[in-house]
Structure 1
Amino acid sequence: MLSTKAFSAGRQLARAASSARVGAVRSKHTVPDLDYDYDELEPVISAKIMRLHHDKHHAAYVANLNATEEKLRNAEAAHDLAAQVALQPALRFNAGGHVNHTIFWKNLIGEKNGGGQLHACALKTAIEQKYGSLETLSAQVNAKTAAIMGSGWGWLTFNPATASLDVITTANQDMAAAVGHVPLLGVDAWEHAYYLDYNNVKADYFKNIWRVVNWKDVAQRYDAAVAKHRAA
């Protein structure tokens, strides 16, 4: 049985997922449109993977999240605490899947449109101060992400506890926010993110994905995280 702390965490995840949607409180979550064509990330990520990943996998998380939230609302209306607790794992998993992928799509852009290019900015300075270089940072993210047993995510985050950048991993669809970190850049380590292109050589996927990182988006997330931390 889930603890009170775990139950509370599940509700926080639902609220985080809700921030990705617009409209009435009871409106349904939707899969966000991509800012680019399916084939823009080639040859790093094929159009075939993008269609499956975005239109099928992400859509499944959204559909299951909407269904779980509906069940949760019914359980709350019936004051059925046992049912509410039982729904928390599905809520956590599908809310995380929706939020993580929503960040992931924004974190990517084709090479011809600036993918992989980190220009002078506060984030670049922070990376060089802590890791020495972008190459050293990417190597650390890749090593930690490759070490995930099973499925999960590798993250570059802003850690409010230290007011600095951090590299962490999360299992399955757990969110960086669930452990107090602000997600800046996520690397999807689930097989569906790379297997059709790289088969079992996931190290090549981790190496190549840096060519299509949208550093403008990551830098904006960093600036927002730092500003919020300073204002707190």
Structure 2
Amino acid sequence: MNWYGYGHLLPLRTLEEIRFWKEQEKEHTLVIRALVPDLEPPYVKLLEEWEVTFANSERVANQLLKQLLPATHPPAPYMVRCIDQLVLAARQQSREFIKQLYVLLEQSAAVQAVPLAKVLILHFIRESEYFLGVLDTLGQPGILRETDSEPSLFLENALHTSGSGSVHRQASEAPTSPEGNVNAPAASAQIQSATVQPPSTGTTQATPSTTAPPVKEKPVPIGGHTLPPLPYAYNALEPHIDELTMRIHHDKHHQSYVDGLNVAEKKLAESRKKNNFELIKHWERELAFNGAGHYLHTIFWTIMNPAGGGKPSGMLAEQIKRDFGSYEAFKNQFTEAANKVEGSGWAMLVWSPRAHRLEILQAEKHQNLSQSDIVPLLPLDVWEHAYYLKHQNERKKYIEDWWNVVYWPAVAERYETARKLLWPPY
């Protein structure tokens, strides 16, 4: 994680990380309960409490972000104290959460009866450990200020709810409430996520369409992007890609990119109106990350289909042969590019209007280390959320299965349209 160059915006960046990872940990509690329907009641209660705890920390991070904006000057001392305290709480929560996930692995018979759950919980432990590494990159609490300060009543009140004092458990102990240095509430809310509900239709087949209706110009209002519907049922790509993954991937992850894009667009519009661009780096970063995530996922759903698989034909097949030597050479390079993406990201077959040929690119996250001036044709999402429920850490096996649902007619349609776009070659 590169923290250089943020200057007095470093507190803002810190809060963004806390907000993101607490949302992830909150989601992990939901996924575990969905995957282990017979989970023992004490562990169900434990995960419900963690869900509320993480939601509280996410909410506090949001509150502090709003108070920091527009961040034209370094934060006031009391704000620094609040952020320091939240960093402490977030770190302690993740440490305790990791310990109690090990408790689940060791002591829950229901978890031990579901092999996938064990693999998934280990993955969640790694993610929380990664978040702790992000906080360690920032340094010890106090990096945002030079002198020690008294604890902030604002954060105490914001995080405080009913519950007992600090609790520190070892992995060998029985489950307890997820309380760290910050009191955690007893959760009373029920799971509301639509991502773990059964599909609304039993239909597993989709009617392929090789020609999309013409698109009329209709600019999306600023901050008005919406989540596109899946062009098939959630379970339509099984056995290659499972239903639960599709529900979480589409309904939660893609929706989060849509929401983030809309916020970034509105904030940039507000900056233009006020002629205040102090936060231009922050909101442009949000625009790039969430916008690329939204647009790539929108393509991603369309280039998969239960009627997919096989090889391309026609003009696209000829272009692939011309640019890569053969379909097999293209597939091998694409597969290796996807498998070797460092961390989370994409592999993409793209049309280059400047080079007048097809290329294979990688992208870290959604937007880093790729190229501009290209048109994506066939993107493959290799973020772990795209495959860990079914394939765990076997990205290569996920890629092999993915080839069975690639819908070449949709890719060919994008190619034939993109092929008309030609810039002077340099």
TM-score by length of 2: 0.47
Distance across 2 between alignment mates of 1:24 and 1:30: 9
What secondary structure is seen at the aligned counterpart in 2 of 1:186?
Answer: strand
Deviations 1:177-216 (A, max 9, x none): 8522210000101000011110011100111111100100
Higher relative strand content = 1
Tell me the number of residue pairs that the alignment of Structure 1 and Structure 2 aligns.
Answer: 212
Alignment equivalent of 1:61, drawn from 253, 257, 268: 257
Larger radius of gyration: 2
1:225 to partner: Cα distance: 1.2
Match of 1:29 among 210, 213, 225: 225
CA contact (8 A) 1:142 1:206 kept: yes
Where in structure 2 are the equivalents of 1:1-40 lying within 5 Å?
22=218, 25-26=221-222, 28-40=224-236
Matching residue within 207, 224, 237 for 1:41: 237
The equivalent of 1:171 in structure 2 is 364
**CA distance 1:87–1:27, shift in 2 (3 Å):** closer
Of 213-222 and 176-185, the range deviating more from structure 2:
176-185
Return closer, same or farther for 1:178/1:29 CA change in 2, 3 Å cut-off. farther
- Alpha-carbon displacement from aligned partner over 1:62-114 (angstroms, at most 9, x marks no partner): 1111112111111111100212333111111000110010010111101xx2x
Mark the runs of 5 or more structure 1 residues left unpaired by the alignment.
3-18
More relative contact order in 1 or in 2 (CA 8 Å, sep 6+)?
1
Greater CA deviation, 63-72 or 32-41?
63-72
The CA deviation string for residues 26-50 of structure 1, in whole angstroms up to 9 with x for no partner, is 3610010111111111111101100
- 69-78 or 193-202, which moves further after superposition? 69-78
Give the 5 Å matches for 1:67-86: 67-86=263-282
Residues 162 and 190 (structure 1), Cα distance of their counterparts in 2 relative to 1, 3 Å cut: same
The residue aligned with 2:351 is 158
Alignment RMSD (CA, Å): 2.4
Aligned to 1:133: 326
Residues 26, 119 of structure 1: CA spacing in aligned structure 2 closer, same or farther, 3 A cutoff?
Answer: closer
Q: Output the TM-score relative to the length of structure 1.
A: 0.84
The one-letter code sitting in structure 1 at the alignment partner of 2:293 is G
- Aligned partner of 2:288 in structure 1 is 92
Say which SS state the counterpart of residue 378 (structure 2) adopts: strand
Q: Is the 8 A contact 2:223 2:265 kept in 1?
A: no
The percent of aligned pairs where both chains have the same amino acid is 34
